[in-house]
A and B are shown apart, each in its own frame.
Chain A
């Protein structure tokens, strides 16, 4: 038995039939071929799967697909400038600039959390960022460059808004 859901995915109206027990992370990866959202655990601990649901960061591995009906979802693939272009979001640029990634597996989730953090608070301190990333595990970077990236990315986001 499947249910039909309609939602806005990365700015586009989307209709899909899903099994009611499907997790959003699975729906994105398996049905919609958006593999940028990663699955790193089965206990909602790692944050590799973070996406924005109606503007707020959520772990898509713990959200059932039917909950998307009528909602707006943003994934890592929806972040760039023009579709198909290589232009990146200021937070993505900041991660590149400050070497905020190594293997890249945690990175989409980190970016989604970071963007939400920056949107929530204009002047992020180092402590805010470290606290705010508590739900995202990175095994490679030791976090230092991620923290630096998030602060720089947040500053760039606010500077862009101010223009």
Chain B
């Protein structure tokens, strides 16, 4: 039996030994015999006609093996990168879906768009040859902002996409909202920008592709959050490689945050090229390359209106958003600002009528797709900002207005007017807990102390809900998903009773090797050390949809739980034979099968042994072996939520915002490993704080140049930007997942931007400031203070 470590315990992570000693195995660490190097040549222009590429000088350069362009892709008749979601407008007209070629054809549409792939013996030779390409561009004006892109006369990215609008999407009952607005005692209005972000996982993307002519098999090692989906999309839809001839491996991956969950053109090009040149090829992106090619996130411009009655009850909420898609549709692109945004606009409130219109717009920028939280932070930001605006305009306390509108715990399950039904939650409980933990009562004293130093102190709240555990396949299918969203797990019990789990999720920092082992250890009563989790290799794992949207534990963990139950069920059959008792009388507990009411038992190891050495075994009715598989498709999303409270200090001399306190109380359902959950919450919060205070992807209108194209110009949160955070959980259990889990990977990023900006606005409210766009950089705040009519220094 050994060391059973179960649900709720916090063992140290299994994966840490290799990472701490420098023995992880990331894609860039892999070397193969006779490996060549690949370099992508990318467009320096935001928008241009590609007139021609002269490859002759490059081909004559030392060490060069091949130079491939869009013409070669076309000649080989290869498909375009597929989009995983097809959304439609209110009349059912499908979105405009122009092709996304793996190497540009005819036109380039963003700085970083790939125009050629150079393969040489060494990276240096490939880089030198790339410099020798003569590319004839006819440069066109670029359009990078959504407001500009939909204006008449704006540069058009695609001939058949008028006004650059991919889809004019809507959700909710507009008529009901209109009626409610007519009856409203007060209407709060807010225009805001949700700034464009770059994910910046610390490991840059990389890929290695090999082709073995002897077996006609391809292998792709890639920094991916979902290798099976890459195999499916790339093999079946882009390169026409039969699935059984294609192995995709995502080994240790150094952070993802969504950025590594899409099928990228680089993966398709390198795999295709490996066969064309009959060489194993390796490509490793530089950080700067990542800035112009990793999918970006967010980038909304929004007008919102909240109607309230005289007591501050929300009557209706109306949101109009322009969402930037970038130059092409990425794997999940159109799904993020629509299906993952509109349905979350109800938040934790009882708002009876909601209407949301989203214009999904093409621009000459890197394609935008899911970045940590994806759609849900955008929804939360609009809602939690406008609630503050309404409170201040109506003279109601910000906590009080939230309380008056919150869904009471007893009202769950709760149907919102925008599709989704929350199964469980306790927003009030989270709020109460956070108020105490953040010592809101003592805020006045702290504010006075700041004022005595000439600083402005502010407090900000964000009460939020998210939809996690993507997703029920049927529901997703109705919304336009072109894939299923279940998960799979295989539990292989070895003859010795040790266990290997093959699971379709992917671990890139979330600690799955530990959390999933705890589930198996508890359920089967086997030692934690005796459970191994295998993921990230399509040759070893049956199938899976990967890790994103806080789905791993919720959907993958459920599949694992189900497969484990099947192992127990089969074990009971074997035990009933060995113990000569009826199957219904066999109980399984703490790693032992026993006959109820007797002391006759068989250990889990004995049963496993009997399954593989079936000398005394009911072979007529039962197969040997002890390995079970389960696929799990959830019945609903899960709905984590919580309350975040940020406290900031603003220095009016410099405009610097310092985050001085941060408190989060999150409802993530059952907590399997509190240490890991806390770590996920910390990381998520800091990414949200990054959006609120530092991070911004800035493009130059007209030229389409990315101005924040390196870690020198894109400000990432560092250790000294943060205070010690207070993070706790206040969990209600999910009613439909087997273990009651809800997911925790994104909640931090969803709750925090609004909390921080609400705190900044609170700090500056006495100057008449009602809104600050993200990021609240010193420059932005300083300008705001210069324009404020009131004296800058605090009394």
> CB within 8 Å of B: which residues of A?
29, 33-43, 45-46, 48, 75-77, 79-80, 86, 88, 92, 95-97, 99, 101-108, 111, 126-127, 129-131, 133-134, 136-147
Partner of B679, one of A29, A43, A145: A145
A143 to B202, CA, bound (A): 14
B637 within 8 A of A: no
The 5 closest A-B pairs by CB, nearest first: A36-B22, A104-B19, A105-B254, A103-B509, A142-B682
Q: Is B186 an interface residue (CB 8 A)?
A: no
Asked if residues A111 and B26 are in contact (CB atoms below 8 Å), the reply is no
CB-CB under 8 A from A137, the residues of chain B are 202, 711, 716, 718
A46 touches B682 (CB 8 A): no
Asked if B510 CB lies within 8 Å of chain A CBs, one says: yes
Task: Kindly state the separation between the CA atoms of A160 and B365 in the bound complex, as whole angstroms.
Answer: 54
Q: Is the CB of A103 within 8 A of B23?
A: no
Contact A99 B675 (CB under 8 A): yes
Which single residue of chain B is at the shortest CB-CB distance from A144? B682
- Note all chain A residues with C-beta closer than 8 A to B18: 104
> Is B725 a contact of A144 with CB atoms below 8 Å?
yes
Residues of A within 8 A of B680 (CB): 102
B15 contacts A by Cβ under 8 Å? yes
Flag whether B13 is at the interface (Cβ < 8 A).
yes
Contacts of B718 in A (CB 8 A): 133-134, 136-137, 143
The smallest beta-carbon distance between B716 and chain A, in angstroms, is 5
B58 interface contact, C-beta 8 A: no
- CB distance B22 to A45 under 8 Å? no
A33 to B20, CA, bound (A): 17
B9-28 CB mask vs A (1 if < 8 Å, else 0) is 00011011111111110101
Binary contact readout B717-728 vs A (1 if CB under 8 angstroms, 0 otherwise): 111101011000
Contact-residue size bin, chain B (C-beta under 8 Å from the other chain): 35 or more
Inter-subunit contact B20/A107 (CB<8 Å) = yes
A to B CB contacts below 8 Å, 29 in the list: A29-B28, A38-B26, A39-B204, A40-B203, A40-B254, A42-B288, A76-B22, A96-B12, A96-B13, A96-B16, A99-B13, A99-B676, A99-B679, A105-B254, A106-B254, A107-B20, A127-B720, A129-B719, A130-B719, A130-B722, A134-B718, A137-B718, A138-B202, A139-B683, A139-B687, A140-B202, A142-B679, A142-B687, A143-B719
Q: Look across to chain B and name the residue whose beta carbon is closest to the beta carbon of A78.
A: B22
Contact A142:B509 (CB < 8 A) given known A38-B26, A38-B254: no
CB atoms of B26 and A45 under 8 A apart? no
* B252 is an interface residue with CB less than 8 A from chain A: yes
With contact pairs A41-B711, A146-B719 given, residues A140 and B20 touching in the complex (Cβ less than 8 Å): no
Judge whether B724 and A126 touch: CB under 8 Å.
yes
| Contact yes or no, A139 B21, CB < 8 A | no
Supposing A76-B21, A133-B719, A144-B722 touch, asked if A102 and B287 sit within 8 A by C-beta, the answer is: no
Contacts A41-B287, A126-B724, A143-B686 given; indicate if A101 touches B20 (C-beta within 8 A): yes
B20, B26, B716, B724: the one within 8 Å of A139 (CB): B716
